[in-house]
Structure formats: C-alpha cells, structure tokens
Structure 1
Amino acid sequence: AIALHPARPLLAAGDVDGDVYMYSYSCTEGENRQLWSSGHHLKSCRDVAFSQDGQKLFTVSKDKSIHILTAEEGRLETRFPKAHEAALNCVLPIDNHIFATGDDGGAVKVWDLRRGSAILEARQQEEYISAMAVDGNGKILLTASGDGTLGVYNVKRRRFELLSEPQNGDLTSVVLMKRGRKVACGSSEGTIYLFNWDGFGAASDRFALRAETIDCMVPITDSIVCVGAVNVLPNRVLGCVGQHLGEPIEQLAVAADGKLLASSGHDQKVKFWDVSALGSMVVDDYRRKKKKGGPLRALSSKALGSGEDFFADLRDEVEPEAAAADGGDSGDSDSE
C-alpha cells in the first residue's frame, strides 16, 4: 500500500508484515531517505492514506484495526483495535474529521474523529470493498466491491442510497472523472465501466482494455486515467507508462502537482514515473492519429526511480516495453 502527501514530497508505504514507513523522495540521486517506521499492526497493512491537510496518516490492516499516526513523526495518535468484524481493506479520509473504511466482508463504516466512533455502518455488498471515492463536497461516498457492484452512500445524511447492477468480475477501483460528472470503475475482467453521476444504477459505457485484470486506477487529468493492469495489449490505449517486470501492480498514487506517478508491486519496489506530458495531451487529436494508422509509442520509457530494496534512490532506468500504468481511453466510445 502506498500514498503520496498532498503537498510535500513524502511517500507512505505499508507492507505485508504490518509495518508502515514514511519516506522523503527526490528526483536527485541519493536524496531519498526513510523518516520513520511503525510496527503497530499485527498483520498485513492493507491501505494507507493521508488526511486532507497532510498532518495525519491513516492505516488499516488485516488485523481489523485502524491506526492514525502523525505524518511528521509517526506517533500513534488514535487506534481503533477491532474496528470491523472482518479484515479491513481500504480507508478514505473525507474531511479533517470524517473518514470511511471498508472490509473483506462488504461492510462500510464512516467515522467521526470528534466522536471517536462510527456514524454510519452498513453491509449492502456481499464481497470485499476494494476501493472508495468521494465527491468534492464530501457528501456522496462510492464503494467498489468484489461482488461487481458500485455502492452509493450519503455521508451527510448518514444512509445507504443504492447499489448498481452487478458488472462482470470484481470491481477493483473507482475514480471520479470529468469534474465529477463521470465515475470510472476498473474490473478483474480487464474492463473499465463508466457511470453518469446521477445514473449509478447501470453503467453508461464500458471500455475493454484486453487486459487479464485491472488491479488499480488513478486519474491523471480530468479525462485521462492511469491503470495498473496485467498483460495489457497497448494498441487500445493512449500508451504505456512503465512496468514492474513480471509482477502485477498493486497500487498507484499521483503527486499533488500531477507530474509524478508512483507504483508499487509484488517485487517490493516503489517506482516513480514521469507523467507530466499527459497533462497537455489532447485525447481527440491522439485518437485521430491512431485511426490514420499512426504508431502507438510509450508515453515514457524511463522510470524516474526504481531499486532492489523497498524504496531505492531515484535514478534514470530504461524499462522494457510493457504496461504498468496505461491511459484509459480505448477509442471504442464517443462518450465523454
């Protein structure tokens, strides 16, 4: 599990032993360093997330606990030891007081730190909660589940709203696009499903990426997502960013300025990729070139950083052609 600080060059990472690490990173070789580590979790750390102000780090674990640490020192401030009945899988800060968690059994909870307890509890989905997203107002919480459904919760009114129709395969990720007008979900079948904001009952469109599975997804711009997938054939997408050779991508995170993409995989490495060019890419122009038979080339053939240890110094390194994160527009649809 990895997360990037909302304002500073800091990376938080959790591992399968339950340890959490904080690193400062730089594009200059030799300037990466570990700031602190925490071994409070008894089992695998499944997810980490910074608070919106960047002062706190939320961590959740297979041991069913939620920990809230100070980002600066790694000091444990708050602990919910038996937060869920099942192993926790994801955490999402909604504002500086409210955050949400999801577990392996399909349960979702919304917590208020001022009360020190959950203010919403529901189990509407039958399988694990893989990912969560919230709108810009902190009102609507979306949950992707292994049962193939997208769940919708009203945080302000503290209630469950509705479930989408089940899609093919597990839903593995959920992100907001098009200034919140669209929602994209990745699936274990290698398909991205699109939902209109006020039409969560059924998908409005779908893009098949010809991937064995989509493991994670993050928005880079308002119209472009990067996808962590297994065995993508990059003739249906904008291009390849990079790869963890022979390993699936577990999680992606984008720096606050949108210029760096971090990826983590089973190879115990965190790699950084330069995605600054995506901000100026015009998708329509690219699609027209593709229809004319123009070649698809990698967006970046160099990793800004990779290494043999868990977090190595950033350095230029040419990667073989493959897909660690791919732009998510297949050209199969004209929908926005």
Structure 2
Amino acid sequence: MAAPAEHVGTDCAEADPPETDTTGAPGADTDTSDPADPADPAPDGDADEDDEEEPPEPRVRDTPQDIKLEAIANTVALHPSRDVLVCGDVDGDIYAYAYSCTEGQNRELWSSGHHMKSCRQVRFSADGRQLVSVSRDKAVHLLDAERGTLVTRIRGAHAAPINSLLLLDENLLATGDDAGTLKVWDMRKGTDIMDLKQHDDYISDIAVDQNKRILLTTSGDGTLGVFNLKRRRFELRSESQSGDLTAVALMKRGRKVLVGSSEGTLYLFNWDGFGATSDRFALRAESVDCMAALSDSIVCTGATDGYIRAVSVLPNRVLGCVGQHVGEPIEELASSWDRRLLASSAHDQLIKFWDVSALPGTVVTEYRKRKKKDGRMKALSKKAHGDNDFYAGLEEEEEQPEAPKEEEQEEQEEEDSDSD
C-alpha cells in the first residue's frame, strides 16, 4: 500500500558516523618498558604503514549492478542527460536512483508515495527537471525530479484508471485510460484540451510524430488509433487485429509505425496508410508487452516469456537475445541518454541493465540466414546467458547465409522499395 498522498520521501543517503579509535587509551601505566632494552622493539611508524594493504580499487563493470526493489515496478524511465533513473511500482511509490558501472556505486536518491494506487507510468521532461506520473488512482502528478516533491496534482483526471502517458512538450501531455479515453492536457492551466473516446478497451501506449501533429494510440481492442493533435479531433482507427495491441514505435525516420501485440506478432503500418497493416512478422514469443527503439531500424522488445529480443525492421529479422528476466514478464524497457545501456523492469522486482552500444550500428544484410531447427536465438551479450549459464541455448554459432530464392528476392525487393 502506498504512503498517504501528503507523504514525501527524503533522501536515503545519510552520512556515516565518524569512526572512533578504541585501540588504546593514553596513560602513564601504558608505557613501562625501557627504550634501551633490545627485547622491546621500538615502534616504527613507517614499517606499520608499509605493512598496511591498500584497499582494492572498485571494479568497473560493463553494466551497472541490478537494482532490487521492494515491489514489482510497472514502469522505468531514464534521465535524458544523466545516469539517473526513476521507477514506479504496484504500491504507488516512485523511486529515483543514480546508477553507475562502478561496482557498489548504485544509490537511491529519493522516494515518494504520492499515489494511493499502482503507478502505471512515469516520464522525465525533456530537460530532466520534472517528472510526470499517472496511476490507477486516476490522478496525474507533476514532481520535481531533483527532490521528488509534488508540484502539481490533477485529481480525478480520468473517469477510469490511467494506463498510459506521453509528454508532448514542456506544457502538453497525453494520457490514456482503461476505458479507451484519450486526453491531452495543458499543464499550465491544469485542464484538458482534448477528450476523446474512440477505443473500446484500454489504451496501452501512445506515440507522436516529429512535428507533434499526429497522435497514435494502441489499444486492447486490437486497433491503432489516429488523432489530429493540431485540430484536436479523431481521424481513424485501423482494422482490428486478432489480439491486443500493446506498444507502438516510429521507425524508418517516421515513415513506418511498428506495433507489438499480445499474440507475439509485430505489425507494420505505412505512415500514409493506417487503415491496414503493410507487413507483419511473428517473433515466436509470448505477448510483446513493451518496446524501445534504439535506431531507425533496430528495436528491442520485452515479452511475457522474460526475453529481451533485438529486432531489425525492414529487413525483418530477430537479431538475437539481449538479456532476460528468467521466467518473469517484462513490464517496460528504457534506453539511456547515450544509447549505450538498456534498462528493464520485470516481475522479479529487479531493474536490470544491458549493454546495447553495438546494436544501433548493426548492419542487417538482405540475405536470409538458415534457421536452426531448434529455434535457438543468438546471444548478443554475455549476460544473455544468465548468472548460471541458464540460457546456454543462446550460444553464438556461425551460420552460412544462403542465397535467397526467386520468391524471396522478390519479397526483399518489395521490402527495400517500401523502406525507401
């Protein structure tokens, strides 16, 4: 249960008490030996200093250590310019941590318990000075990112629990709830400037184009919604898919829209053709619950089976496994400000970090590699195997590319022309 709404967590970092030397007390009775007696060796301060061993230097890791939480984190967001993250959990609490690749240097900065129910989403502003969070308690909170103090609260922002959040600029944000209602808020006034219900089920994710003109929503009703932000009106809904649509990302410099689904299938839409999908491919995964784009062509997906997959878009390929939360559904993925690290939160109550620095520059050839009969994925990091080599099936193997057949060549030509 989250703390009361007026509670604000304080900085957890406390100064260590001063060390007290109790090895001996001064006094005349403590020194009874004759300085000239050879049986009593004279103290040698320099020798004592030489005998003392210097503490070992902290080990520098490829990625920060895991952060252990007290409850499952629904959401995680990384600061746009610093090594700081925030996460919101099922109890309604929000935590801020400084993370570091130096072992033992992760530390909690502050915590707050302003939400009365599960915190669903939390996001940094573009300058990193403020945070916005939404919750099952139907409230929108604006926080000071440095201290975690509450700046503005909108109570009863939606009639249903709020599920998704997107910051559009320093003043505008969009929220979607469990009943399928989308709202756009002007935080200067604390009021909504757009309130539309066009979905029949929860809104799972929201995206916006670079010009901040078109809003896209994915929903549990299996459709992609298109809203005109400038004209503040609904445009259209896509044809319905067989499962829930769970996540959305813009790819190929905004010309393609990638959508994840509860069926483990990724759908592609052309920017000028939202009515029907232009392509689709299955990941052989359980529900794709979250995505984080690393470049115009590479995206990481988090699934209910606990695996984080790196996926190429046009050509469509599963590149391999970045990491895993063994057997635990992944709630959210977020990339660091320098695109070097990927953070993930899952039902194991851990925030884990993965080295993805090599992925944005990955070049995917048009040739299709021969798939292994057992369907194993390639390991893209040492940590993909797990602490005890649990995922040994991810061993890297040399695969000889085979020349595509005539039909595959035609398909590839269509993909290439589509991507142009």
- TM-score, normalized by the shorter chain, greater than 0.5: yes
Partner of residue 273, structure 1: 354
Partner of residue 71, structure 1: 145
Partner of residue 369, structure 2: 290
Q: Structure 1 22/322 Cα, relative in aligned 2: closer, same or farther at 3 Å?
A: farther
Partner of residue 71, structure 2: none
Partner of residue 343, structure 2: 262
Q: Tell me if structure 2 keeps the 8 A contact 1:175–1:217.
A: yes
Deviation at 1:296, TM superposition (A): 5.2
Task: Give the paired residue count.
Answer: 315
Partner of residue 220, structure 1: 294
Q: Deviations over 1:179-232 (max 9, x none)?
A: 111000000001000001111111110011111211111111110110111347
1:32 aligns with 2:111: no
Q: Deviations over 1:148-206 (max 9, x none)?
A: 01111111211111111111200000000001110000000010000011111111100
Gaps of 5+ in 2: 1-74, 312-316, 394-403
Partner of residue 142, structure 1: 216
Q: Tell me if structure 2 keeps the 8 A contact 1:301–1:319.
A: no
Q: Deviations over 1:245-265 (max 9, x none)?
A: 110111000112111110000
**1:187-266 to 2 correspondence within 5 Å?**
187-231=261-305, 237-266=318-347
1:290 alignment partner AA: K
Q: Structure 1 149/79 Cα, relative in aligned 2: closer, same or farther at 3 Å?
A: same
Aligned equivalents of 2:387, 2:148: Cα separation in 1:
31
Q: Deviations over 1:70-112 (max 9, x none)?
A: 1111110110110000000011100000000000000000001
Q: Structure 1 36/136 Cα, relative in aligned 2: closer, same or farther at 3 Å?
A: same
**Bigger CA drift: 109-118 or 235-244?**
235-244
Partner of residue 301, structure 1: 382
Q: Tell me if structure 2 keeps the 8 A contact 1:60–1:88.
A: yes
**1:107-122 to 2 correspondence within 5 Å?**
107-122=181-196
Deviation at 1:289, TM superposition (A): 6.7
Q: Tell me if structure 1 keeps the 8 A contact 2:321–2:377.
A: no
Gaps of 5+ in 1: 304-315, 324-330
Q: Tell me if structure 1 keeps the 8 A contact 2:308–2:323.
A: no
TM-score (norm: length of structure 2): 0.71
Q: Tell me if structure 2 keeps the 8 A contact 1:19–1:41.
A: yes
Aligned equivalents of 1:65, 1:200: Cα separation in 2:
31
Aligned equivalents of 2:352, 2:389: Cα separation in 1:
11
Q: 1:321 aligns with which of 384, 391, 404?
A: 391
1:288 alignment partner AA: Y
Q: Structure 1 11/292 Cα, relative in aligned 2: closer, same or farther at 3 Å?
A: closer
Aligned equivalents of 1:169, 1:297: Cα separation in 2:
28
Q: Structure 1 233/153 Cα, relative in aligned 2: closer, same or farther at 3 Å?
A: closer
Q: Structure 1 5/20 Cα, relative in aligned 2: closer, same or farther at 3 Å?
A: same
Aligned equivalents of 1:161, 1:264: Cα separation in 2:
34
Deviation at 1:292, TM superposition (A): 8.9
* RMSD of equivalent CA atoms: 2.4
More strand by share: 1
Aligned equivalents of 2:247, 2:392: Cα separation in 1:
21
Residue aligned with 1:239, SS: strand
Aligned equivalents of 1:118, 1:202: Cα separation in 2:
30
Aligned equivalents of 1:228, 1:137: Cα separation in 2:
28
Aligned equivalents of 1:292, 1:78: Cα separation in 2:
53
1:180 aligns with 2:250: no
1:9 aligns with 2:83: yes
Q: Structure 1 322/267 Cα, relative in aligned 2: closer, same or farther at 3 Å?
A: farther
Deviation at 1:288, TM superposition (A): 2.9
Q: 1:159 aligns with which of 229, 233, 236?
A: 233
Partner of residue 401, structure 2: none
Partner of residue 327, structure 1: none
Deviation at 1:321, TM superposition (A): 2.2
Q: Deviations over 1:280-331 (max 9, x none)?
A: 21012xx5372498x952111227xxxxxxxxxxxx95663289xxxxxxx9
Aligned equivalents of 2:187, 2:84: Cα separation in 1:
24
Q: Deviations over 1:50-87 (max 9, x none)?
A: 11121111110000001010111111011011000000
Q: Structure 1 136/320 Cα, relative in aligned 2: closer, same or farther at 3 Å?
A: farther
Larger Rg: 2
TM-score (norm: length of structure 1): 0.88
Q: Tell me if structure 1 keeps the 8 A contact 2:245–2:260.
A: yes
Q: Tell me if structure 2 keeps the 8 A contact 1:69–1:75.
A: yes
Q: Tell me if structure 1 keeps the 8 A contact 2:343–2:351.
A: yes
Deviation at 1:139, TM superposition (A): 1.4
Q: Tell me if structure 1 keeps the 8 A contact 2:129–2:146.
A: yes
